[in-house]
Amino acid sequence: MISLAAPWLLLLLPLPLLVRWLVPPHRERESALRFPFFRRMAEAAGAEPRAGAVVLSRPMVSAITAALCWGLVVLALARPERVGAPITIETAARDVVLAIDISGSMDARDFATSDGERIQRLAGVRQVVRAFVAGREGDRMALIVFGTAAYLQAPLTDDLTTITELLDRTEVGMAGPHTAFGDAIGLAIRTFEASDIDQRLLILLSDGSDTASRMSPVNAAEIAADRGVEIFAIGVGDPEATGENRVDLAALQAVAERTRGQYFFAEDAAALEAVYARIDQLAPRETETLSFRPRLSLSWIPLGLASLLGLASVVWLQLRGRARRRGARPAEEAA
């Protein structure tokens, strides 16, 4: 579809006629010779001398070309453009931070897969998280890994492939052997500071008790609640173990409650998949939809036609003038 971006500029079309009607013609004084026998010469030539100015006339082709060029210029000023089909873009209205525990206890081989095989906890978590990330199209995600300290692997981004690749390269113990999920919450809060989206979701997965944080997980969760961050805490591992290998379900539950989030415990891959499905139900993704029509300017077409018409008119007038001068020379020679 072709439309005009500024159709009101078409009101300029009659402007040359208004100028012709309202503005007096341009006058020039020309020097002349005065002959005392001018009247006799005029009578001899059969002409009747009259006082007044001479109004020069222009060829009809020149007038038509000028009118067409003016119309094309006004049309270009009105900005014709080709309007394309509507394009709809959905942008994320939710930011998600994944905080994954990679402490030494995640090396235990007690994570049951769907076929009953026992594999490393981190390897099992990676398998399920990879599928979860792949289904987050439209969300922005960040990745935090933590052990003795918390590290930001990837800031908030919509490049989910990078999130998956970084998680695949993560190994147990890279962040230290202990567990500091209180610091992980604090780092997530700082990560969300770069976000201007209201829906902020932190998914925290840990298999141990907090022993290395500078700030307690509960205090960090209270700060997160003030910043509008909702925490979904997931516990994996053995609640009956001792020391740092025992998953602190009470702490995870307290963290989730402080932020009006949810707490889950996943013993195997099937349970963890169910947890992520439940998260989608509890925190549905919000989207912002932007719809627009692409516009391609066509102003160059009438401008180009006006230039060609003007050039053709000038060439035609020059050739016409030369032809007249050539025709006048034989008549002068014959005289």
Question: Which band of pLDDT confidence, cut at 50, 70 and 90, is reported for residue 186?
Answer: very high
Q: Count of CB atoms within 10 A of residue 134's CB?
A: 12
Question: Which band of pLDDT confidence, cut at 50, 70 and 90, is reported for residue 327?
Answer: low
Helices and strands (H and E) in the chain: how many: 10, 13
User: Phi/psi zone of residue 228: left (φ > 0), alpha (ψ -120 to 50 degrees), beta?
Assistant: left
To which residue do tokens 């800031």 refer?
155
pTM exceeding the 0.75 threshold for the entire prediction: no
What are the tokens at 216? Answer: 């307690």
Q: Alpha-carbon distance 56 to 138, whole Å?
A: 72
Q: Alpha-carbon distance 116 to 104, whole Å?
A: 23
DSSP-derived 3-state class of residue 55: coil
Question: Which band of pLDDT confidence, cut at 50, 70 and 90, is reported for residue 230?
Answer: very high
pLDDT at 146: 93
Inter-residue long-range contacts of 27-34, CB under 8 Å, 24+ positions, other chains counted: 27/53
Question: Which band of pLDDT confidence, cut at 50, 70 and 90, is reported for residue 224?
Answer: very high
Nearest to 76 by CA among 137, 4, 132: 4
Q: Give percent of the chain with pLDDT exceeding 70.
A: 86
What are the tokens at 12? Answer: 């300029």
Question: Which band of pLDDT confidence, cut at 50, 70 and 90, is reported for residue 183?
Answer: very high
